[in-house]
Amino acid sequence: MNMHSNFEDTHKQKLTIIGAPIEEGAGRLGALMGPAALRTAGLVRTLEEFGHPVEDRGDLQLPPVLPVVPAVDGLAHHIERIAAWSRMLSSETYDAMTKGTFPITLGGDHSLSMGSVSGVARYCEEHGRELFVLWLDAHSDFNTPATSPSGNMHGMSAALLCGEPGLEGVFGEEPRGFVKPENLHLFGIRSIDATERVLLRERGIDVVDMRRIDEFGVAKLMRRIIERVQKANGILHVSFDVDFIDPSLAPGVGTTVPGGATFREAHLVMELLHDSGVVGSLDVVELNPFLDERGRSALLLVDLVASLFGRQIFDKPNLADQSAGALSI
């Protein structure tokens, strides 16, 4: 699977859609309807229009018997159910990557990334590829059961992926992969708990908050991350939380934080990622149709995913034309 070709070279790349109707990790009900809303908003049809063969595996369902998870030191609500989801999703994304396809996991709350990214990380470790993760989110999601003020596990997913203690029981003896803390890039952050702030600094995790985006702009900050992935010949997983976007544009989320990405900032992120050719897997999480307004959030998410897979307002001029002053309007 060539992660470094441009869209023109990979427009026939097969995509695997994995529905994860999980809401146990969140504090509000409704995210389980997210995968259905994204399909209704035309996600599969839109991807197929770009020439991608799409295999939609439908929505996963919890097994009748949940794994036994040892008691944790602190709060971790529904950990047995989260563990079951995580193990299934890890297996699904690992299988998709092994078969040479691009896994797109539709959520569902952000706890699903414990599983989806773990499967991608396992694949990368076995194939000697460096995995980087771009976490587009209002929150850093770096709590543990010992530090979480709420016990909601969608706020612990990044910590689990980086191997923070207290969450080992989620996978138990099941195979999984890890993300190096220095390879995690939190982007668009504007809500961090005090205990998370300490951990993030200690682990050396790259945090691009909205203040930095305001000051330096999306393009400069994104290109810095992309260049790092390219230099390492790495693969980038994008974990896209709806609340990365300002709630005035995407109200269908249970954890709104004012001051998020604008319409054009969000599209520019996706366009730059598409141009880079380094993205190998994607999560779209935290869409809660119960809180949405006539599907606004779902439609916007489909539009943004389309930008990630090559939708452009107009063809980019080539560099030779620009240097010769041939750019015309």
Read off the pLDDT of residues 67-97 as tens digits, 9 standing for 90 and up: 999 999 999 999 999 999 999 999 999 999 9
Q: Is 241 annotated as a binding residue?
A: yes
**pLDDT tens-digit readout, 42-55:** 999 999 998 999 99
Query: Which pLDDT value is given to residue 315?
Result: 54
Any idea which residue has 């980038």 for tokens?
236
Catalytic residue among 78, 110, 185, 267: 110
Does residue 64 register a pLDDT over 50? yes
Asked about 174 being catalytic, the answer comes back as no
Query: Which pLDDT value is given to residue 326?
Result: 33
Catalytic residue among 24, 92, 206, 241: 241
Q: Is 139 annotated as a binding residue?
A: yes
Does residue 287 register a pLDDT over 90? yes
Q: Confidence band (pLDDT; 50, 70, 90) for 323? A: very low
Q: Confidence band (pLDDT; 50, 70, 90) for 322? A: very low
| Cβ contact 172:83 at 8 Å | yes
**What mean pLDDT is reported for the chain?**
92
Asked about 292 being catalytic, the answer comes back as no
Q: Is 185 annotated as a binding residue?
A: no
Peptide bond into 58 cis (omega under 30): no
Asked about 246 being catalytic, the answer comes back as no
Please give the structure tokens belonging to residue 220. 């400069």
| Mean pLDDT, rounded, for 154-171 | 97
Does residue 8 register a pLDDT over 80? no
CA distance 88 to 83: 9
Catalytic residue among 78, 139, 185, 267: 139
Q: Confidence band (pLDDT; 50, 70, 90) for 13? A: confident
Q: Confidence band (pLDDT; 50, 70, 90) for 324? A: very low
CA distance 147 to 310: 40
Catalytic residue among 23, 24, 109, 141: 141
Q: Is 141 annotated as a binding residue?
A: yes
Asked about 137 being catalytic, the answer comes back as yes
Query: Which pLDDT value is given to residue 312?
Result: 73
Asked about 77 being catalytic, the answer comes back as no
Q: Confidence band (pLDDT; 50, 70, 90) for 224? A: very high
Please give the structure tokens belonging to residue 33. 């309807």
Query: Which pLDDT value is given to residue 328?
Result: 29
Instruction: Map out the domains of the chain with their CATH numbers.
Output: 7-312 (3.40.800.10)
Q: Which H helix or E strand runs over 102?
A: strand 102-107
| Mean pLDDT, rounded, for 138-167 | 97
